[in-house]
Structure 1
Amino acid sequence: MTAPWRILSLPPVGREVVRGMFEPLGDAAEVTFPERRDRAALLAALPSADIVIADFSRGFVLDAEAVAAARRLAFVQMPAVGVDRLDLAALTAADVPVANAAGFNARGVAEWVLGAAFALCRNLAWGDRGVRAGGWPQAELAVRNPREVHTQRVGIVGFGSIGAETARLFAALGCAVSYWTRRRRPEAAATYRELDDLIATSDILVLALPLTDETRGMIGPERLALLPPNALLINVARGGIAPDDAVLGALDSGSLAGAALDVYDREPLPPGHPLRSQENVLLSPHAAGSTVQSQQNLIAAVRDNVTAAVQGRDVRNIVNGVKPQVIRR
């Protein structure tokens, strides 16, 4: 009898959720978890794992040391889109395919971007704070440059599933939508522009691309200075692409009229961080994709991909170029 595949599931995905995903596999798979939430427990659990469901939070990192400890590792599934918590070079060198859950929260994040655009354009959070404090800032709101979203030129940096869905929603409102990505998309319902041109012609600049060595610091002070007057920034990508200090500098200089941020250089955002006191910044705790529908999509994506690996079928959404058929070690 063939031994069951050992699936090591890392936090923060709940244990009961994971057990429920793979119960239909019966004796073909055994789900395990680290004994504790520390580095030593991770390194102790990895040597017997065939498949790892990775940690998308700031907890367990699959770095080169961890990959070396995972001698039987045949597949890594990230229950998220971003894979910056993984050492992709080490995993690729070990011939381990890595998959993400691309597209699972595209609609949820795109709707958050749209909601953030409305909030910034109409100063909704600022007005709410004023009324709650006992004021009636009707006249003050009228001089804070309120604008209708459909009149804004929208530029999207990154055009994966989130960027494409964001473009579609803004276009439906009547916005002029442009985008930049490393590979031009002929099918895109938006106009391609080179990055600096895109920034210089965007009243609302949306960041929706992964954090890599190439994109870290990509939208720094020099590029933020290219924005047109009264521009707005919405970041649902990763902290570090537009560093917090650069965003603060652009707000102070007037290059930015406002920003909506779901991600930061450090998460959680430290107490007393100057972004917390910016009245024209909408802050969110990295939760743009946290909808009921997105979570259902995520569970289905992880379940289906890991099940395919166990049953000898090709997995989907490989991000490191390794062949999609998972070979047991």
Structure 2
Amino acid sequence: MSEADAPDVLVLRRGTHGMPVEQYADAIRERLPDRSVELARTPAAEREAIRSATFATGMTLERDLLEAADELAVFACAYAGTGHLPLEELEERGVAVTNASGVHGPNIGEHVLGAILGFVRRFHVGRRRQDRREWRHYRAHELQGSTVTIVGLGAIGEAVAERLEPFGVETIGVRYTPEKGGPTDEVIGFEGEAFDDALARTDYLVLACPLTETTRGLIDREALVTLDPEAVLVNVARGPVVDTDALVAALRSNRLRGAALDVTDPEPLPEDHPLWTFENVQITPHNAGHTPEYYERLADIVAENVRRRENGDDALENQVLP
């Protein structure tokens, strides 16, 4: 393909959440009706189209594909995290990289709120009694007056805090740079006694942070012992943020009221894993962000950045590199 025939936007073939990548390409076309948007549906088509493409988007970009990208100026990663990309090679080639930060705020924020309310009202207990056709009362809880700690105050953490605001709760936010503040009543860092003190006061612990050296294994045996036995854990971050063996041990010894896990370690969760067996554990298969709006919000970012480049604006939305 010659440079003259290169598309304005090249969409790579891998989709996510089981949604056809054609939907992503169509959403970009709707926003850029006067530009050419090409979807490469085979490995050969990707290798051919990437040679002359200046703007590409996709879930990932393998090193061998990048080596063929002679003209690439922008890669729009369709995930919020970019650690899986060959960032050093992209930087050496002078390729700007953007991410999907923000697209998961509303959908995962609602998932977290639903998980918390499910445990507050003990819907899992009601469901079991409904399945048995058993009309027997049980006591629920109230969210009002509770303390919710949100680990990670990115787009998802902020969306969770915003959705909790009408419920009359106290919120604690945890972030690397607490001096930046945030939408929670308190903001603390990961280090020192402040984090342990927050855990001890927490009724609902929401993990919405990236997986880093700091957060890997953050919720370990000691953290779970520090939490009140009536606390509930909600993990929409990454599975390894929680020590799985420690979590299983806490659940078995009734040192945790329950857990809502959209991510696990390992993942997928093996069929014989003990986490499947707990009645007070809600497991969803890493699909808290799976709504029709996911590709729509991604397409908004891509379209905006195509327009910025055409207008000579070097500052791209969600730019993470350089």
TM-score of the pair, normalised by structure 1? 0.81
Aligned to 1:10: 13
Question: Amino acid of the residue matched to residue 285 of structure 1?
Answer: P
How many residues are treated as equivalent by the alignment?
Answer: 308
Give the match's secondary structure for 1:234.
strand
Judge conservation of contact 1:8–1:49 (CA < 8 Å) in 2.
Answer: no
Give the match's secondary structure for 1:92.
helix
Q: Where does structure 1 lack aligned partners over 5 or more consecutive residues?
A: 56-60, 323-329
- CA displacement at 1:246 relative to structure 2: 3.4
Distance 2:226 2:65 in 1: 42
Distance 1:107 1:96 in 2: 30
* 1:111-170 Cα distance to aligned partner (Å, 9 max, x none): 2111111111222023212311333342xx33xxx3101131110100112112211222
Distance 2:28 2:51 in 1: 23
Q: Which moved more, 1:278-287 or 1:236-245?
A: 236-245
Q: Which moved more, 1:96-105 or 1:310-319?
A: 310-319
1:142-153 equivalent positions in 2, closer than 5 A: 142=139, 146-153=140-147
Aligned to 1:299: 299
- CA displacement at 1:199 relative to structure 2: 1.9
- CA displacement at 1:245 relative to structure 2: 3.0
* 1:80-137 Cα distance to aligned partner (Å, 9 max, x none): 3233432334433443222112222312221211111111122202321231133334
Aligned to 1:73: 72
Aligned to 2:185: 190
Question: Amino acid of the residue matched to residue 217 of structure 2?
Answer: G
Give the match's secondary structure for 1:151.
coil
Judge conservation of contact 2:304–2:317 (CA < 8 Å) in 1.
Answer: no
- CA displacement at 1:207 relative to structure 2: 0.6
Judge conservation of contact 2:31–2:303 (CA < 8 Å) in 1.
Answer: no
1:229-268 equivalent positions in 2, closer than 5 A: 229-268=229-268
Distance 1:192 1:308 in 2: 35
Aligned to 1:53: 57
Aligned to 1:58: none
Distance 2:63 2:283 in 1: 34
1:33-112 equivalent positions in 2, closer than 5 A: 33-36=40-43, 46-55=50-59, 61-112=60-111
Give the match's secondary structure for 1:233.
strand
Give the match's secondary structure for 1:319.
strand
* 1:26-77 Cα distance to aligned partner (Å, 9 max, x none): 78545141415xxx8866765444333122xxxxx53555544544332221
Residue 167, structure 1, aligned to residue 149, structure 2? no
Question: Amino acid of the residue matched to residue 299 of structure 2?
Answer: I
Q: Where does structure 2 lack aligned partners over 5 or more consecutive residues?
A: 189-193
Distance 1:176 1:198 in 2: 11
- CA displacement at 1:279 relative to structure 2: 0.6
CA-based RMSD of the aligned residues comes to: 2.9
Q: Which moved more, 1:122-131 or 1:112-121?
A: 122-131
Judge conservation of contact 1:207–1:235 (CA < 8 Å) in 2.
Answer: yes
TM-score of the pair, normalised by structure 2? 0.82
Distance 2:111 2:61 in 1: 30
Cα pair distance change 1:251/1:20, threshold 3 Å: closer
Distance 2:63 2:154 in 1: 28
Cα pair distance change 1:243/1:303, threshold 3 Å: farther
- CA displacement at 1:210 relative to structure 2: 1.4
Give the match's secondary structure for 1:260.
strand
